[in-house]
Amino acid sequence: MIRMLHLHRWKILAVATLANLVLLANLAAGDPKGLEEIAWLDIAGEGGAALLAFLWLGLILNSRPSGRVTNYLVAGLTGIFIAYWQDVLDEVIRLPEAVVWDHWVESGAMPLGMVLLTLGIYHWQREQLAINEQLRRRERIFREHRSFDRLTNLTSAPYLRRQLAMELGEAGRAVTLMMLDVNRFDHVRRQLGPRDADRLLQELAELLLLNLRQDDLLCRYAGDRFAVVLPGTGEREATLLGGELIAAVDHFAFKTRQGETHLQRLDVGLATARGDEPDALIERANQDLEARRQQPAPA
Amino acid sequence: MIEASYELDDKFIRAHHQPVTLMDLVCDQGAEVDRLLRHTGLFYHEVAAGRALASPRQYLQLIHNARRLYPEPELSFLHGQRLFPGHYGAVSALLGNAPDLGQALAVFESAQSLISPLLTTRVARAGDYCCVQWLDACGAGDEYRFLVETMMAGLASVTRWLSGERLPWIFQFSYPRPAYPEQYRVHLGSDLHFDAHMDAMLLPAGYLDRPWPRASATARALALRDCENDLARLGFRTSFIQALYDYLRQRVREPVSLEQAASALGASPATLKRRLRRQGTHFQQLLDRARKHEALHLLQLHGYSNDQVARHLSFNDPTNFRRSFKRWTGLTPSACRRLLARTLDRPDPSARSDEGAC
């Protein structure tokens, strides 16, 4: 759960120190109110807002590496948090009329925080567009973080089915589905051992991505089988692309942890959509793959 | 007599054998071993020292934990693929040196307590098919499907490895199509049949005695001797539920009562009832299961007509048989036979059969 927080030790310390300073300043300048003077509803409202702002701060810090965008977001949320914090303290500590800085904390930190947060979100959006560009070929049209495969970080079979349902819904557009798997992977796994076999799949995923076009989508179907959605592509073009992937994997000299070279072959099957449902298209591509699978060389 | 057998709480599974392959698999994915062993009653230092013996219940708890820590549907299949032949001493050597598929299956059947303690195997050769059926050994509950996936992936993988070729298994499952059919498709094969009332793998019988390339006759003979010693030391080959099931299956033509079964066990009916209840089943359920499986085998593999099956199971009236069959499977015998004929790609046999009678 707590994965990124350790990167932000100093920021967390700064926020905590700031909140403490405000508390100490309030206590130094004013006196606590009596119980009968306290408006509990206001405390619940303002305290809740402060608590939520603090929670957002934690979630943001835990999900982001350090950097400019993170700094903006954190500064903005800190401003908002401090403003609400002063609000809460106002409810329990009475400051003399002569003190005016509390108004500055309350009314100054809030707009300043809002501006910084807006700036942060703007840059965050720019950053996200850049990441989307990097993620192309790994996802198309919609995002669902729960459908990423753990091993390869590609999307998995349920995502493929939903994606195909959307692609096939667009009438008049050719879609070809390609299925790929490693020839005799069961033997490969026994030869390499499970860890190297897993690494082989990870590296194959990267290699396949490098050889695909911008609009193609690579998914991990199951085990050693990958699926490629080729939008706007007919059978001829898909066959060419399949040949390129086979050639790329033929020339891929995978290294085991002992540093030995392991060569492997790819088998490819294709199915071009002809008004079928996603499951039927997947099934046809699977059957094509199994029919074309190269028979093992006689021992 | 019913042979000696084990139950859910008997500690005899060497934890550093099959359970460790699952632990390694899940820990490779980043899980902590302490969380994996929680509530199992096993301790890592004892497992690592090769001293720990686990009961089926503890192994099942380990599987439960593993599924929680690595909740991906591929877990069972990956586990199965790592299981065999394995490094479990004589039984692994026996399996690894099997000269053909028939002998490999015989290891699963006769040394079941050593090689597959949670799921039993029964092999039947009928007509032109060989049928490998998987049965719950001692009340797996929610983990049953996981075990079926594991053992089917394990057997498919080890037979592919030892034979050097992809065997054209046909897979039948008692449960409906799961939400992750792609795992079955890639890890098992293309010939999958869900809602088929039995968890079984079928193969043309010609594959049973095709010689395999890896076997060594000497190593096998030594392994066989050691394996028999291991089994003798253990004192049993199979589980209590399976032993009783086998007894009922052998006597499927005669009406067997709870009292008869109890006396064959040398126990009182109350004891038998209690032992079955402890493992989540009861006598009538086992009896029904034995008769249902016998009926399915006769219909699917021997090509019996509905009347012949009814007579074989000593039903004196076809209507009675039909009612019982419907209770076992939810289908009429004819509908079930059509479904099972499709599994084997056979022409629908009901065209020539006694549709009217059943």
Q: Structural domain boundaries of chain A? A: 5-135, 145-292
On whether residue B1 sits in a domain, the answer given is no
d(CA A57, CA A193): 44
Cis omega (within 30 of 0) for bond into A231:
no
Residue with the two structure tokens 């995923």? A205
Does residue B322 belong to any structural domain of this protein? yes
- Cα nearest neighbour of B79 on chain A: A194
Contact across the interface for B161 and A223, Cβ inside 8 Å:
no
pLDDT reported for residue A174: 87
Is B174 within a domain? Answer: yes
Q: Which of A187, A194, A299 sits opposite B28 (nearest CB)?
A: A194
Strands laid side by side in the A217-222 sheet = A217-222, A225-231, A175-182, A266-272
Residue A254 pairs in a beta bridge with A262
Give the tens place of pLDDT for each residue, A6-27.
778 888 899 999 999 999 999 9
Collapsing DSSP to helix, strand or coil, B195 comes out as coil
Distance CA A221, CA A179 (A): 8
Whether residue B358 is contained in a domain is answered as no
A-B CB pairs within 8 A amount to 46
Predicted confidence at residue B3, as pLDDT, reads: 82
Q: For residue B41, how many other CB atoms are within 10 A of its CB? A: 14
Closest residue to A221, CB basis, from B29, B164, B182: B182
B residues 167-226 near A, CB within 8 Å?
Answer: 179-180, 182-183, 185-187, 190, 213
User: Is B357 a residue whose pLDDT tops 60?
Assistant: no
Q: In terms of domains, do B79 and B204 share one?
A: yes
Average confidence (pLDDT) over A210-234: 93
- Angstrom distance (rounded) from CA A226 to CA A134: 20
* B105: in domain: yes
Is A194 close to B29, i.e. CB distance below 8 A?
A: no
Nearest residue of A to residue B71 by CA position?
Answer: A150
Cα separation, B131 vs B125, in Å, equals 6
Q: Are B138 and B285 in a shared domain?
A: no
For testing the chain B interface, which of A148, A189, A199 should be mutated: the one with the most B CBs within 10 Å? Answer: A189
- The last residue of one of the domains, among B21, B37, B71, is B71
Quickly state the pLDDT bin for A66 (edges 50, 70, 90). Answer: confident
Q: How far apart are CA B180 and CA A293, in angstroms?
A: 23
What is the percent of chain B with per-residue pLDDT over 70, rounded to a whole number? 96
Residues B100 and B198 in one domain: yes
| Confidence band for B311, pLDDT divided at 50, 70 and 90 | very high
pLDDT tens for B197-228 read 999 999 999 999 999 998 999 999 999 999 99
Contacts by A121-129 with C-beta closer than 8 Å and gap 24+?
A121/A73, A123/A68, A123/A69, A123/A72, A124/A69, A124/A73, A127/A69
In this prediction, residue A295 has a pLDDT band, given cuts at 50, 70 and 90, of low
Residue B357 falls within a domain, yes or no? no
pLDDT over threshold 80, residue B10: yes
In a domain, B37, yes or no: yes
Phi, psi of A227 (to 5 degrees): -120, 140
H-helix or E-strand containing B122? strand B119-126
Identify the domain containing residue B120 by its residue range: 72-238
Judged against a pLDDT cut of 60, whether residue A137 lies above it is answered with yes
Cα-based angle A214, A220, A155 (whole degrees, multiple of 5):
65
Average pLDDT, chain B: 92
Q: Which of B45, B71, B97 marks a domain boundary?
A: B71
pLDDT at res. A298: 42
pLDDT band at A129 (very low <50, low <70, confident <90, very high): confident
pLDDT at A108 over 60: yes
Phi and psi at B259, nearest 5°, equal -65, -45
Q: What is the mean pLDDT of residues B89-107?
A: 96
CA angle B255, B137, B336 (to 5 degrees): 60
> CB-based burial of residue A192 (10 Å sphere; 0-12 exposed, 13-18 middle, 19+ buried)?
buried
Single out the residue of A203, A229, A216, A211 nearest to residue A137, CA to CA.
A216
Q: Is B81 on the interface with A (CB under 8 A)?
A: yes
Question: Residue B352: pLDDT band by 50, 70, 90 thresholds?
Answer: very low
- Length of chain B in residues, anyone? 358
ipTM of model: 0.90
Give the gap in angstroms from C-alpha A196 to the nearest C-alpha of chain B: 12
Q: DSSP H helical segments within chain A, as ranges?
A: 9-29, 40-63, 68-92, 101-135, 157-169, 185-192, 194-210, 235-250, 278-292
Q: Is B208 domain-assigned? A: yes
Q: How confident is the model at residue A276 (pLDDT cuts 50, 70, 90)?
A: confident
Residues B225, B297: one domain?
no
The CATH number assigned to the domain with range A145-292 reads 3.30.70.270
Which band of pLDDT confidence, cut at 50, 70 and 90, is reported for residue B353?
A: very low
Domain count, chain B: 3
pLDDT at B213: 92
How many whole angstroms separate alpha carbon B99 and alpha carbon B159? 11
Res. B4 pLDDT band, cuts 50 70 90: confident
State yes or no: pLDDT of B349 exceeds 60. Answer: no
Residue A114: pLDDT band (50, 70, 90) is very high
Write down the pLDDT at residue A99: 85
Same domain (yes/no): B100, B38: no
Q: What is the pLDDT of residue A37?
A: 83
Task: Indicate which of A150, A164, A181, A287 best probes the interface with B, i.e. most B CBs within 10 Å of its own CB.
Answer: A150
Query: pLDDT per residue over B260-292, tens digit each?
Result: 999 998 889 999 999 999 888 999 999 999 999
* pLDDT of res. B244: 94
Q: What are phi and psi of B56, to 5 degrees?
A: -50, -40
Asked if residue B162 and residue B92 are part of one domain, the reply reads yes
Q: What is the mean pLDDT of chain A?
A: 89
Indicate which CATH number applies to the domain containing B264: 1.10.10.60
What percent of chain A has pLDDT above 70? Answer: 95
pLDDT digits (tens, 9 = 90+) for B332-348: 999 998 888 888 877 65
Q: Which of B84, B165, B184, B186 to mutate to test the interface with A (most CBs of A within 10 A)?
A: B186
Judged against a pLDDT cut of 50, whether residue A299 lies above it is answered with no
Span B119-172, pLDDT tens digits: 999 999 888 899 999 999 999 999 999 999 999 999 999 999 999 999 999 999
